[in-house]
Structure 1
């Protein structure tokens, strides 16, 4: 509006110019929510960046699991927590979802293991006693695989040892578990060097496979020819050698265990690699038996009692065990109508060869043609015979020895397995001799001999009676005459009788005559010329 001049007129004023305002002008009041939004976003991004991995673990039951409370630990350090516990879709298992710290992401690999730690007694060991007050938790053992994984099947039994302990694991195959369990000790020279880590039934159901872990440095004593056996309780064996009792330790007597040893002849064999498979034997004796590459099976038939002979009894050749009994049967021969006891044996030809000679070549057969050698031995009188190994236990064994007087026989190689000849036992031979003697005695006509003996006795009685009636009186007269003659001779030989005096005089004369003859003989020896000339001084 213009300014008014004098007389009421207004003065001129400058015209206002419109100015366009900014459309994006922010009020100060909006600064607070913006800052809060930025902080929240930053916290969200940080939470996402620091969030650890999520893992799902399947368990058979939810015992000891509680969402929001059950912790996940590794080496007794908290690395996560169980967020939820739900059932699987088939309602057969429990699915635990856990959240781990970010640093544990690289620990979730293919062979990582999870299990619930709770109070447990297994294999003679007690674990998880601390959870009685603190509650159960999920234990974790880091694997060494390169493949990542986030879903796992939890172990029902805690692992015996962590995966980072030095040593090696081996696989054992046995017919049954015996008295051992997970955590049972493994002994070497009665020193505990490992434990049973796990076991499972074979798919065929005919055996059990066990995994044993041997701690370093003892694992270097497990070689390719090492023998494992049950060391549980007392190993009492009754054989032809008597009663033997073996045990490893008092602990093994209570909770069982496994022991291993390498034979002296095989200690130079290489060390066994990881997961090498071995057979688990029942006893130390069975484990340390010589393992032969060549096995020949034969049948030996006995006709006397085999009581005391058991499967596993040795076949002995002059004190050296060359085989063992594998099976015992009975057989009836319808032609001869006779029972027999066929015994199946395994012979090990390598044991006939020399082992004291040094050399890289292992022993084999002692002949290129086994049949020719067997025929030669049988023709030479070699036979199999039952013998008593221990009179106290009554155990028998099969002996292989030479019997020169055995009847000639041959081996029928068309049979499978072939049958080798036998010789009866010593007692059986004596019994057979007595039987033959009794048969001969039974063939003697004792009735006829008795009648003849009775007739002879009757004749003898008649002779005695005749002697009493005829001969005796005459003999009495003869005896009386002889007595009279003796009395006359006795009276004639008295010292003061004429006969004695005449005899004395005659003896003196004979003595003087003998002296004269002696003197004459001496003189003639000195003077033989006296026979012609006479004594000196005598007249011619």
Structure 2
């Protein structure tokens, strides 16, 4: 009989031991809330950490307000140390995001809940699941930074980040600013490339293709084929600030639209002026450069219109931002260099006194784009800076085309003053007088001139006949010339005799003695 009662007692002890063992070996239970229950199946959906099963979903229910899905999961006992305050959970399912494809294996095995352990030491059992997997797992070496831009462009979570065309990071998250005027993005740069992010590093959108045309031809720049298709970011530090220290984690940076804008010189001192033009500014846009001898020293900030009631005329005031630090001089062999002057008014008035004026010029003949040129015009009328205006007004001169138009208008005005009708009438009267004179010459002078010409011809014919070789005049002239020659010979003989016998002039010629 005692043995019979011993069997139930042993069974109770074994059951109690099994119950205690089950309680002692039971792992923690956690609740995770999701936006949707897609991929969650009670009793089947596993929890995995580093692709190792550590638990299973026991139930899937709606929250009290019916806005969330609550998944209750039971984990293995040895997973208790993984449940800390910043541990993250998400449903792993097939996804395409930021140019990456993940969760392909779940097409066959089914979805599961992924897990990433945080660095906190505080225990936790209630979590809010992520709607998308984290781009960067906890513990990956590198640093996170913050970018602020006007819009997202074609970026998404997981979009690549390039440094000198090497992929060195990803976009981890983004959100719209509270004022709705921009977006803030969190990015992660992998080590060791994060050391190249300096305090003056510039970030820009690297999406699409950058095509430029200059004197060397057409240039096409892009980071990679992936960035063309899905978007991306790139960064670089200007050479002159490359020696700066590394930026701290979570440092804020501005996000520029393109590389040229990002790498442009960022000036610490900005002076504002107004250029008041009295000609069309078609082709001039906000952001157009202000050029001084081929160097960009400013940009157009705003374009307005102004009506002057006194003169009842319109003008176009153009607000510009001038960077006075760019008016510098550098000398060779370590010589000194610097600004012309540190006083803003003194610098501006000095330039104006030496003939500097603002002028609109054509920057591109194909597109008709204009820019503002600062140049010296020695013959420009004297002018002074108007410091009473805010911003102060800088004197201008008409553009090249406007000057040509004014010159043509002045020339036409002068031509209009010439009495072309009176000149034409006088010329017509002169022609009539000339015609009458010709008629008179033909009637009176021409016959007499004909007779005179006939008489002259007859005289010439007679003279021609007299000069013929067989004419009497020619023969007589020949005889006369012969006689003249004999006379000249006789004179020479006489002269010779007198030279030998000068006494013959007194005594006479003596007879030759025999």
Q: TM-score range by the shorter chain?
A: 0.7 to 0.9
Q: Note if contact 1:240-1:389 (Cα within 8 Å) is conserved in structure 2.
A: no
Q: Note if contact 1:387-1:399 (Cα within 8 Å) is conserved in structure 2.
A: yes
Aligned mates of 1:52, 1:507 — CA distance in 2: 167
Aligned mates of 2:448, 2:333 — CA distance in 1: 99
Q: Does 1:284 align with 2:248?
A: no
Aligned mates of 1:240, 1:298 — CA distance in 2: 32
Aligned mates of 1:351, 1:68 — CA distance in 2: 71
- Match of residue 13 from structure 1: none
Q: Does 1:100 align with 2:75?
A: yes
Task: Find 1:160's aligned residue among 131, 135, 145.
Answer: 135
Q: 1:408 to 1:391 in 2, by over 3 A?
A: same
Aligned mates of 1:150, 1:417 — CA distance in 2: 62
Query: By how many angstroms is 1:506 displaced?
Result: 5.6
**Structure whose CA Rg is larger:** 1
- Match of residue 107 from structure 2: 132
Q: Does 1:227 align with 2:202?
A: yes
Q: 1:43 to 1:453 in 2, by over 3 A?
A: same
Equivalent residue of 1:345, what SS? strand
1:142-221 equivalences in 2 (<5 Å): 142-221=117-196
Query: By how many angstroms is 1:35 displaced?
Result: 4.0
Query: By how many angstroms is 1:423 displaced?
Result: 1.8
Q: Note if contact 1:114-1:155 (Cα within 8 Å) is conserved in structure 2.
A: yes
Task: Find 1:396's aligned residue among 365, 370, 395.
Answer: 370
Task: Find 1:261's aligned residue among 222, 233, 236.
Answer: 236
- Match of residue 470 from structure 1: 444
How many matched pairs?
A: 498
Per-residue CA deviations over 1:452-498 (Å, capped at 9, x if unaligned) read: 22222222222222222233233333333333343344444445556
Query: By how many angstroms is 1:32 displaced?
Result: 4.0
Aligned mates of 1:198, 1:509 — CA distance in 2: 137
Q: Note if contact 1:240-1:395 (Cα within 8 Å) is conserved in structure 2.
A: no
Q: Which moved more, 1:487-496 or 1:445-454?
A: 487-496
Q: 1:214 to 1:466 in 2, by over 3 A?
A: same
- Match of residue 322 from structure 2: 347
Q: Does 1:61 align with 2:22?
A: no
Q: 1:354 to 1:87 in 2, by over 3 A?
A: farther
Aligned mates of 2:82, 2:483 — CA distance in 1: 147
Equivalent residue of 1:260, what SS? strand
RMSD between superposed Cα atoms in Å: 3.4
- Match of residue 423 from structure 2: 449
Q: 1:136 to 1:357 in 2, by over 3 A?
A: farther
- Match of residue 506 from structure 2: none
Equivalent residue of 2:429, what SS? helix
1:371-386 equivalences in 2 (<5 Å): 371-386=345-360
Q: Does 1:436 align with 2:410?
A: yes
Equivalent residue of 2:60, what SS? strand
Q: 1:348 to 1:499 in 2, by over 3 A?
A: farther
Query: By how many angstroms is 1:31 displaced?
Result: 4.2
Q: 1:234 to 1:472 in 2, by over 3 A?
A: same
Equivalent residue of 1:390, what SS? coil
Q: Note if contact 2:95-2:102 (Cα within 8 Å) is conserved in structure 1.
A: yes
Query: By how many angstroms is 1:139 displaced?
Result: 0.6
Equivalent residue of 2:451, what SS? helix
Query: By how many angstroms is 1:442 displaced?
Result: 0.8
Q: Note if contact 2:171-2:188 (Cα within 8 Å) is conserved in structure 1.
A: yes
Q: Note if contact 1:315-1:400 (Cα within 8 Å) is conserved in structure 2.
A: yes
Alignment gaps of 5+ in structure 2: 504-508, 510-514
Q: Which moved more, 1:300-309 or 1:62-71?
A: 300-309
Aligned mates of 1:164, 1:51 — CA distance in 2: 29
Q: Note if contact 2:171-2:185 (Cα within 8 Å) is conserved in structure 1.
A: yes
Per-residue CA deviations over 1:164-210 (Å, capped at 9, x if unaligned) read: 22222211111111111111111122222221111111111111111
Equivalent residue of 2:298, what SS? strand
Task: Find 1:369's aligned residue among 343, 346, 357.
Answer: 343
Query: By how many angstroms is 1:114 displaced?
Result: 0.8
Equivalent residue of 2:86, what SS? coil
Per-residue CA deviations over 1:373-427 (Å, capped at 9, x if unaligned) read: 2112112211111222222332222111111111122111111112212222222
Task: Find 2:54's aligned residue among 73, 79, 93.
Answer: 79
Aligned mates of 1:301, 1:234 — CA distance in 2: 38
- Match of residue 512 from structure 2: none
Aligned mates of 1:451, 1:430 — CA distance in 2: 34
Aligned mates of 1:387, 1:309 — CA distance in 2: 9
